[in-house]
Structure 1
Amino acid sequence: MKNRLFTLAFVLGVICPAHSQQRKNISSKAISPDLIGVFFEDINYAADGGLYAELIQNRSFEYSPTDHGGWNSFTAWEYITQGYGYGALSVETTSPVHPNNPHYAVLKVEEVGQEGIGLKNSGFDGIPVKAGEKYNFSVFIAQQDGSSMPMQVKLLNKKGETIGETTFTTTSKDWKKYTATITVTQSQDSASLVLLAKAKGKIAIDMVSLFPQNTFKNRVNGLRADLAQTIADLKPKFMRFPGGCLVHGDGLGNMYRWKNTIGPVEQRVAQKNIWGYHQTAGLGYFEYFQFCEDMGAKPLPVVPAGVSCQNSGGTWRIGGTGQKGIQLNEMPDYVQEVLDLIEWANGPVTSTWGAKRAAAGHPKPFHLEYVGIGNEDKITPEFKERFKMIHDVVKAKHPEITVIGTVGPAPDGEDFELGWKFANKENVPMVDEHYYMKPEWFLANQKRYDTYDRLKSKVYLGEYASWGNSLFNAIAEAAYMTSLERNGDVVRLSSYAPLLAKAGHTQWNPDMIYFNNTTIYRTANYYVQQLFSTNEGDMYHSNVVTPAINKADTALAYSCVRNSKTGDVILKLVNSSKVEKSFNVNLSQFKGIGTKAVVTILTGDATVENSFETPDKVKPVTSNFKAARNFTYTVQPMSLTVINVKGNR
């Protein structure tokens, strides 16, 4: 049915005999309906302390100096002995909750004092809470001495005053999970949580957790609602995850292995983050897939290509390990790990891994279509051998899956050339190009994909951005994105990167969305991505828009697409100059549209940027517009203008 509707739309919009004379100079082609998506990587504290809604930092006492210099098992924790109580606090590994989660705290209470003794957690730059909202507390405790232990949990404001509390009593010598709900009485941007033991004895403590009930879509172990909604508002057609350089990791032992990130959170494998902090894996593959489904985006997981990052160990320094490959005799097991991922995502509940997905609460398949293999890998013989082993098996056993390869971290150069040569030799369906360049580069390279061979591997532009968050940067990206639409038959997917950055914890700039514990601001780059994604088409039409004066004006860029589902014709007009410019628009080829239109404009001074202090300094403005079959439209300096002419299918 979908193909029939697409064909009908094509016939009505392209080859209707009544307009054949007008279409002699019109060129139209089908383009990817999945062109604009998002890329999530746990860089800049994007996951723990960011999108992942957990409010307790180092909840399972797994932090270590290898994660970050100066860290240890009690980072973000404070030993509390107020009211003349005393005892001892230690970290042990003898009898953990689960072998994958080896460290836990042991609290020995020798004298209770007036208030009890225990632990205080400061969260990620404080714990943000809102008055009247409910928070789910949980902890694993094993009673090591004594038959039970009365416990008190308190949320404190900056003055040390209680703004929410609960109590419970331990009942088991074995590990047991205790849960409670805390209602907060006062909004705070930097609260702390205190866990107090109220009697003599000895207890083991692990997985201390505090979650807002108000997560995105109210998911358990879910996402920070406002931040997730900001991403969802982009209306992405897909989401690539979990990286990035995070995927192939800092050495073979640090590779991101998807199986370590599913199941109960206390059984997941935490590890060092390649960007210099810690991954709890609380935001794991199930949560990624669920988030994609919740916002209507296709999942695009990326798995290592059997080799570690070529920069492992800091190869720019003496002693770096560089790219290392999984032993060839271990590769069949690794290839099976990739096959298991596809079964986990798409298999029936009767399959081994489909049953695990169902047990996690999702019996229906996730409808996985894309799998990325590798990320910016150096194109060495070791890489090519291992990539081919994975690619060939996936292609043979799952022809419905589009495998996406990699061609290095730059728009040209040795790895780019070698990667493309290898991809075309092996008939890889799609390759992942990456580049971060000056805005002038994006303006000067709008014809990059015009000459790509349409019969060879398609392109996923997986990571790109101009160096900055000014309006000029965003307008340069908008100009380039019109060329992505023009070449949407070969560029099938694209995503700006990085997506998120937490204030005070950025390893990389620029980024699309900046946030702290309570506030978010969207950059001009965000609004450009949103305007393209929410004004998508699946047919590209050339010769509809032309500059009114100088067709060779390099300050101008434009595109025309039609959405076959809605019948809308969408024009994107970009002016990167300092003066007004005009475009001629000829809509006479299109049937089924009228004069009703909406125009959205993003404009301002070239240097303007949004910030926490002025989050709406640059923002799109929308108004109604009356279109005509032929009209001239004048666009403002330094602007992106989107004109959506309403139509019928």
Structure 2
Amino acid sequence: MNVKILDYRTFVILAFVLISTGCFVHAQVPKGGKEISDELLGLFFEDINYAADGGIYAEMVQNRSFEYDPTEQQGWNPFSFWEYMEPGYSYGKISVETSNPVHKNNPHYVVVDAEFIGNYEEHEGKSGVGVKNLGFDGMVVKEGDTYNFSVFLKQLSESPITLDIGLQGTDGTVLAENKIQSTAKNWEKYTTTLVPSQSRDTTHLVILATTKGKFAMDVVSLFPEKTFKNRPNGLRADMAQLLADMEPKFVRFPGGCLVHGDGLHNMYRWKNTIGPIEQRVEQRNIWGYHQTAGLGYFEYFQFCEDIGAKPVPVVPAGVSCQNSGGTWRIGGKGQRALPMDEMDEYIQEVLDLIEWANGPATSKWGSKRAAAGHPEPFNLEYVGIGNEDKMTPEFKERFTMLYEAVKEKHPEITVIGTVGPFLEGEDFDKGWELSNKLRLPMVDEHYYIEPDWYLGNQERYDAYDRKKAQVYLGEYASWGNKLYNAIAEAVHLTAIERNGDVVRMASYAPLLAKKGHTQWSTDMVFFDNTTLCPTPNFYVQKLFMKNSGDHYYENVVKFSKKDTTLAASTVMDSKTGDVILKMVNAGKVPKNMEVNLSKFKNRGGNAKLTVLTGDPEAENTIEDPGNVVPVTKAYSVDKNFTYSAPAMSLSVIRIRTKT
């Protein structure tokens, strides 16, 4: 064998080429640290507080398929949020029917009979018979933007019927208008576009028959063309971008209690949420409203891919919520289990999910993903089974069956178990017992608790056995959206980073809450149709997400350990070589911290400092969303320096390698 030794000049040139082409992507990692999870912080999404329909899902028509029901909210019916119209002395009638729907999964539709149309020239404004949709607290439109309208129609009279499709202000001003003509005797989808001449915060959609006739109508939809990434059936652009800018490592979906549902009939079944929207199964939301499933599994996975986050779907463990039936009390007896003779079919449903996400386009379920526009696999790595479940014998039996089936068929998938809704107690202990028995790779812990607990329990994960399951802290918050709550959570996050070798992932919850429609008081982002209001809690999460690392170092930042109002963590991102210091002061006065960067070569000089601070009682509101925001500036550091942490603050110092 002839071995050619490169001369120095050749070696330098080769090294330069490799570096410039990205072949060398990791910086030298100093000794003395420990590897931690590189996917530590992400997002938890649940359709609570109108987070999906009327929220991040960009559909503007409420009750678009006439499926609202009084069992969801008192007074609701299939015609809720619609108004019947007979302008210009026209008259007719309208009814909700079920005899011949667009699809069996979408049983209700409206029949409009335009019996007489007034003379347009004799009356001010439009003449016709039709309906108006009020949207979710109205519809926001922008001048010059395009809005895509679609509807399924079926002609029930002999002659074609002309329909005026328009956007109308609350004062009656016509902002945009176009025409379609119903001609098909069977259900057919019709589309048009609307471009408003003015911007309005409260607009309604009007569908008006201007010629006599009878027709059936269903799945009435209006989407802004400018959705996030311009996806059809997509997401509200500003809200999705706000989340994307956080740079989360993963997104857990479709929720918590939403998953196992209010009774077996209400469990979230992923297959009901894919395919054409007219074929998806709508149902009552466990939080007391309606979910169209327009934001379904394909859209969740697509969003994860669009923002570079790993998908973490959670499926029921074959049981419903223990608080089913509206009991909502600790130890409620509402948990119901799927009959054992249905478990084989349900296990296959979970296995089919993995094939749908990862299988080739030629497989049965992979082909359905490909038909939706994504022939490549989604590269699913995690599946959660169960959510905050009561550890009954029925749960344990069904969870074990599901876990063993996934483990056997898909050993490449990490299954995440559950250990109940609290940080301790009977379900927590029994959940960990089951985890240890099955040797689960990961379990999902949840806790909502007062902020002082986070200050006094910074060592929670220090003593966790590293030989047992890793932890996904799937839901946590400190019962409030004031700055003090956020700073207490920042203290906890420094401990999470310190224990990033056993805590694999963590996500604050809930994520989104619409003004006037909240079922949960503590949330990360409040919003209405025009404004996003990130809370101080949001900014803490974002600062930790955007300044994460994969190696943790002790004793870089020193302070009195007896002072529970102080906390700090030091991580290094091996991809960039940056060293990141996070220092938290939950006290009422500034306090000094001593920083020693001697572990890290070529560090010092220019850095970037971001500080979130203010009155501990301060919070952001829809009216003043910028009351508490982080401030970033250039900052100079030495090998050794003293940092004065402001009262009630999170400070992040990002230090790059000297050049």
TM-score, scaled relative to structure 2: 0.94
> Is it true that 1:97 corresponds to 2:102 in the alignment?
yes
> Is it true that 1:66 corresponds to 2:71 in the alignment?
yes
Residues 314, 321 of structure 1: 8 Å contact kept: no
1:402-438 deviation line (CA, Å, top 9, x unaligned) = 1001111111111011101111111111111001111
Of the three residues 317, 335, 338, the one matched with 1:326 is 338
Q: How does 1:198-217 map to 2 (within 5 A)?
A: 198-217=210-229
The one-letter code sitting in structure 2 at the alignment partner of 1:518 is T
Quote the offset at 1:147 in angstroms: 2.9
When residues 316 and 630 of structure 1 are mapped into structure 2, their CA distance, relative to the original with a 3 A threshold, is closer
Of the three residues 511, 519, 524, the one matched with 2:531 is 519
Q: Which residue of 2 aligns with 1:374?
A: 386
Quote the offset at 1:146 in angstroms: 1.8
1:14 is paired with a residue whose SS is: coil
Q: Distance in 1 between matches of 2:66 and 2:305?
A: 32
Q: Distance in 2 between matches of 1:344 and 1:647?
A: 44
When residues 629 and 186 of structure 1 are mapped into structure 2, their CA distance, relative to the original with a 3 A threshold, is same
1:1-44 deviation line (CA, Å, top 9, x unaligned) = 9xxx999968x3334xxxxxxxxxxx421000111100000000
The one-letter code sitting in structure 1 at the alignment partner of 2:464 is Y
Q: Which residue of 1 aligns with 2:246?
A: 234
> Is it true that 1:607 corresponds to 2:655 in the alignment?
no
Of the three residues 24, 30, 33, the one matched with 1:14 is 30
Residues 26, 576 of structure 2: 8 Å contact kept: no
2:488 is paired with a residue whose SS is: helix
> Is it true that 1:112 corresponds to 2:122 in the alignment?
no
Structure 1: unaligned runs, 5 residues or longer: 16-26
1:469 is paired with a residue whose SS is: coil
2:507 is paired with a residue whose SS is: strand
Quote the offset at 1:648 in angstroms: 7.9
Q: How does 1:197-596 map to 2 (within 5 A)?
A: 197-315=209-327, 322-547=334-559, 550-596=560-606
Q: Distance in 2 between matches of 1:155 and 1:180?
A: 12
The one-letter code sitting in structure 1 at the alignment partner of 2:74 is G
The one-letter code sitting in structure 2 at the alignment partner of 1:13 is V
1:202 is paired with a residue whose SS is: strand
Could you tell me the percent identity over the aligned residues?
63
1:72-113 deviation line (CA, Å, top 9, x unaligned) = 000000010111111110000111000000000001111112
Q: Which residue of 2 aligns with 1:636?
A: 646
1:567-587 deviation line (CA, Å, top 9, x unaligned) = 000000000011111111111
Q: Distance in 1 between matches of 2:542 and 2:166?
A: 41
Residues 13, 591 of structure 1: 8 Å contact kept: no
Q: Distance in 2 between matches of 1:134 and 1:590?
A: 53
When residues 6 and 579 of structure 1 are mapped into structure 2, their CA distance, relative to the original with a 3 A threshold, is farther
The one-letter code sitting in structure 2 at the alignment partner of 1:631 is F
Q: Distance in 1 between matches of 2:246 and 2:118?
A: 54
Quote the offset at 1:525 in angstroms: 0.3
Quote the offset at 1:647 in angstroms: 2.5
Q: Distance in 2 between matches of 1:581 and 1:178?
A: 65
> Is it true that 1:44 corresponds to 2:49 in the alignment?
yes
The one-letter code sitting in structure 1 at the alignment partner of 2:117 is V
Q: Distance in 2 between matches of 1:570 and 1:580?
A: 21
Quote the offset at 1:168 in angstroms: 1.2
Q: Distance in 2 between matches of 1:419 and 1:273?
A: 27
Residues 275, 507 of structure 1: 8 Å contact kept: yes
Of the three residues 650, 654, 657, the one matched with 1:647 is 657
> Is it true that 1:56 corresponds to 2:68 in the alignment?
no
2:84 is paired with a residue whose SS is: strand
> Is it true that 1:158 corresponds to 2:174 in the alignment?
no
Q: Which residue of 2 aligns with 1:33?
A: 38
Q: Which residue of 1 aligns with 2:134?
A: 122
Residues 605, 658 of structure 2: 8 Å contact kept: no
Quote the offset at 1:387 in angstroms: 0.3
Residues 568, 648 of structure 1: 8 Å contact kept: no
The one-letter code sitting in structure 1 at the alignment partner of 2:91 is Y
Residues 313, 321 of structure 1: 8 Å contact kept: no
Q: Which residue of 2 aligns with 1:21?
A: none
The one-letter code sitting in structure 2 at the alignment partner of 1:382 is E
> Is it true that 1:597 corresponds to 2:597 in the alignment?
no
Q: Distance in 2 between matches of 1:442 and 1:422?
A: 27
Q: Distance in 2 between matches of 1:37 and 1:479?
A: 17
> Is it true that 1:78 corresponds to 2:83 in the alignment?
yes
Residues 440, 476 of structure 1: 8 Å contact kept: yes
2:448 is paired with a residue whose SS is: strand
Q: Distance in 1 between matches of 2:584 and 2:653?
A: 11
Q: Distance in 2 between matches of 1:436 and 1:498?
A: 10
Q: Which residue of 2 aligns with 1:178?
A: 190
The one-letter code sitting in structure 1 at the alignment partner of 2:228 is F
Q: Distance in 2 between matches of 1:370 and 1:174?
A: 43
Q: Which residue of 2 aligns with 1:18?
A: none
Q: Distance in 1 between matches of 2:225 and 2:646?
A: 45
2:156 is paired with a residue whose SS is: strand
Quote the offset at 1:198 in angstroms: 1.5
Q: Distance in 2 between matches of 1:256 and 1:551?
A: 46
Quote the offset at 1:594 in angstroms: 4.1
Quote the offset at 1:321 in angstroms: 6.4
2:489 is paired with a residue whose SS is: helix
Residues 567, 648 of structure 1: 8 Å contact kept: no
Residues 369, 401 of structure 1: 8 Å contact kept: yes
The one-letter code sitting in structure 1 at the alignment partner of 2:64 is R
Q: Distance in 2 between matches of 1:256 and 1:13?
A: 44
Quote the offset at 1:221 in angstroms: 0.3
When residues 6 and 501 of structure 1 are mapped into structure 2, their CA distance, relative to the original with a 3 A threshold, is farther
Deviates further, 487-496 or 27-36: 27-36
When residues 352 and 8 of structure 1 are mapped into structure 2, their CA distance, relative to the original with a 3 A threshold, is closer
1:509 is paired with a residue whose SS is: coil
- Report the number of matched residues: 631
Quote the offset at 1:541 in angstroms: 0.4
Residues 32, 538 of structure 1: 8 Å contact kept: yes
The one-letter code sitting in structure 2 at the alignment partner of 1:637 is A
Q: Distance in 2 between matches of 1:423 and 1:610?
A: 40
Quote the offset at 1:315 in angstroms: 2.9
Residues 6, 564 of structure 1: 8 Å contact kept: no
Of the three residues 601, 617, 624, the one matched with 2:627 is 617
Deviates further, 266-275 or 619-628: 619-628
Q: Which residue of 1 aligns with 2:14?
A: none
1:239-258 deviation line (CA, Å, top 9, x unaligned) = 00001100000100100000
Residues 604, 658 of structure 2: 8 Å contact kept: no
When residues 7 and 478 of structure 1 are mapped into structure 2, their CA distance, relative to the original with a 3 A threshold, is farther
Quote the offset at 1:236 in angstroms: 0.5
